[in-house]
Amino acid sequence: MDPSMADLNSPHSMGTTIIGVTYDGGVILGADSRTSTGMYVANRASDKITKLTDNVYLCRSGSAADSQIVSDYVRYYLHQHTIQLGQPATVKVAANLVRLISYNNKNMLQTGLIVGGWDKYNGGKIYGVPLGGTIIEQPFAIGGSGSTYLYGFFDQEWKDGMTKDEAEKLVVKAVSLAIARDGASGGFVRTVIINSEGVTRNFYPGDAFPLWHEELEPQNSLLDILSSSSSSEPMVS
């Protein structure tokens, strides 16, 4: 297989950064928007936060096909469960359904998921369901290839009982930091806020967050940088 075809035949995966954070009154889920096949960005505007029910959403990472199929199955089971139960499903039930599928098919699936939502019994909850099918309830969860750069950041920045705006700013900042350092994460930041009032979807394009260390201003073309800069080294601002 020649190198140019190698990328296009790679499995479609989401090198990703996904985050789920609880705050006082609900949860905020955040993700980047890059889906890659090998070294090519197949989709620079993907939506990795998918709806399971009106009050429970799922952040997907890992293999795109596997995570889409898992979310489709769970959505189907949850829909049935909601009809049988007669009221909205709880986040715990949703997370356990995700966990059962992930665990029982662990040899064949490669997907790390974060389940987040709000229900009237327990309020806002975040459950991490990483690769092997563990389920772990956490005040905040991070996942995907970009999450490795965020463990230290969250250790320092995380506080219990944040307000909605504080929490959203934290999520956006974290995802943008991961995008800056992880090659497999990129694009823009999507957030979903779930609380007792409902669901709000937000979208933060590249210019919504500040430039981090050694990041350059976005330019229209390399020629602009070369012609405008007076120094001999073009990439030094």
Partner 1 sequence: MSKVAIDVPPKGGFSFDLCRRNEMLSKKGVQAPSFLKTGTTIVGLVFQSSAATAAPPTLPPPPPLPLLKPSSASPPPTISTKIKTTLYFFVPIPGAQPHAVILDVEERWLLRHLRVPTRILQRFGSKLSPDGVILGADTRATEGPIVADKNCEKIHFMAPNIYCCGAGTAADTEAVTGIFNFNVLYMVSSQLKLHRYHTGRESRVVTALTLLKSHLFSYQGYVQAALVLGGVDVTGPHLHTIYPHGSTDTLPFVTMGSGSLAAMAIFESKYREGLTRDEGVNLVTEAICSGIFNDLGSGSNVDVCVITKGNTDYLRNHKLPNPRTYVNAKGYSFTKKTEVLLTKITPLREKVEVIEGGDAMEE
Which residues carry out catalysis?
16
Cβ-defined contacts of 82-89 (< 8 Å, 24+): 82/53, 88/53, 88/54, 88/55, 88/119, 88/120, 89/53, 89/55, 89/56, 89/119
Which of 63, 176, 185, 195 lies at the binding interface for partner 1 (CB under 8 A)? 63
Closest separation between CB of residue 78 and partner 1, Å?
17
Q: Is 68 in the site for partner 1 (CB under 8 A)?
A: yes
Between 5 and 226, name the residue whose CB sits nearer to partner 1: 5
Q: CB atoms < 10 A from the CB of 156, how many?
A: 7
- Give the interface size with partner 1 as a residue count (CB under 8 A): 19
Q: Is 69 in the site for partner 1 (CB under 8 A)?
A: yes
Which of 4, 107, 156, 220 lies at the binding interface for partner 1 (CB under 8 A)? 4
Q: Which of these segments, 25-33, 58-66, 136-144, 214-222, binds partner 1 (CB under 8 A)?
A: 58-66
Alpha helices for 113-202 (secondary structure H): 151-157, 164-181
For 64-188, where are the E strands, in sequence order? Answer: 111-119, 123-129, 136-138, 140-143
Under 8 Å CB-to-CB from 86, ≥6 apart: which residues? none
Can you tell me the distance from the alpha carbon of 162 to that of 164, in angstroms, rounded to the nearest whole number?
7
Between 68 and 96, name the residue whose CB sits nearer to partner 1: 68
Q: Is 35 in the site for partner 1 (CB under 8 A)?
A: yes
Between 45 and 85, name the residue whose CB sits nearer to partner 1: 45
Beta carbons of 117 and 124 less than 8 angstroms apart = yes
Q: Which residues form the interface with partner 1 (CB under 8 A)?
A: 4-5, 8-9, 11-12, 35, 37, 40, 42-43, 45-46, 63-65, 68-69, 108
